[in-house]
Amino acid sequence: MFVSPCANFGRGELLLVYDYMPNGSLDKYLYNQPNVTLNWSQRFRVIKGVASGLFYLHEEWEHVVIHRDVKASNVLLDKDFNGRLGDFGLARLCDRGIDPQTTHVAGTLGYIAPEHARTGRATASTDVFSFGAFLLEVTCGRRPIERQGPKDDIVLVDRVFVCWNRGNILEARDQKLSNDFVVGEVELVLKLALLCSCSEPAARPSMRQVMQYLEGDIALPELSLLRLSPSGLVFVHDEGPDDVQMVYQCSYVPESTLLSGGR
């Protein structure tokens, strides 16, 4: 059995106990195991498993649990390479209909929703933003932000958008997959990641909708209004004859932002 770090929810301490995960964390198979590559079927199964776990935490349990640190290094793999979300050390629990009371930014650079960085308030929607970064991480085999020098960073969501905008989103996939993948599934996950990465919380899907997209129960909304501006990825929506535009800027948290607990 595995026991996670304590998650202090303000009413004492809780321990999460689940089966031993002999294959360790997912990130080592994305970055640190050059001789072991997870195939697309395994990756897609992991994605669905983590999505299902977040859906349960957000909507199916008697309380709402906000994880606050969704990323590949916090996903554990069992003997059959099924993924389970772990490390609830930053998680927050609240009653349904009551906002979680968080007062500081917690998480990891590249996965933090912009509104969480501004207000310190974590919600189910900020978990969805992190899940979007996680989708890109698993499908592209790259971290959300890669340091190329003191002033030169590669933002993964921007790279994926550029590939999508020129009509070849599959170019962004992990090249270690070669041609052994399901085209429709990879396209779906990458487009869903862009949708989850929007900085306006109301524009992101819920985890219930994410599950429906992944299972093919509903179709993804149109992404043709996505734009790349000097400030990052934007989602532009035209409204009515006055051509009023609402611009949702998918900006990323600067490194100077105070982080707590992420690694």
- Beta-bridged to residue 134, according to DSSP, are none
Catalytic residue check, 69? yes
The answer for residues whose C-beta is within 8 angstroms of residue 23's C-beta and 6 or more apart is 29, 76, 77, 78, 79, 81
Question: Distance between CA atoms of 96 and 64, rounded to whole angstroms?
Answer: 6
Comparing C-alpha atoms, which of 15, 80, 83 is closest to residue 44? 83
Rg (C-alpha) for the chain, rounded Å, is 18
List, as one string, the DSSP characters of 179-198: T-S-HHHHHHHHHHHHHHT-
Q: Which of 181, 184, 183, 249 is nearest to 213 (CA)?
A: 184
Residues 31, 37, 39, 45: is their CA dihedral positive or negative? negative
Tokens describing residue 238: 């035209």
Residue 86, burial from CB neighbour count under 10 angstroms (0-12, 13-18, 19+): buried
Find the catalytic residue in 27, 69, 153, 238: 69
Contacts of 241 by beta carbon, 8 Å cutoff, 6+ apart: none
235 sits in which H/E element: strand 232-239
SS3 209: helix
Active site (catalytic) residues? 69
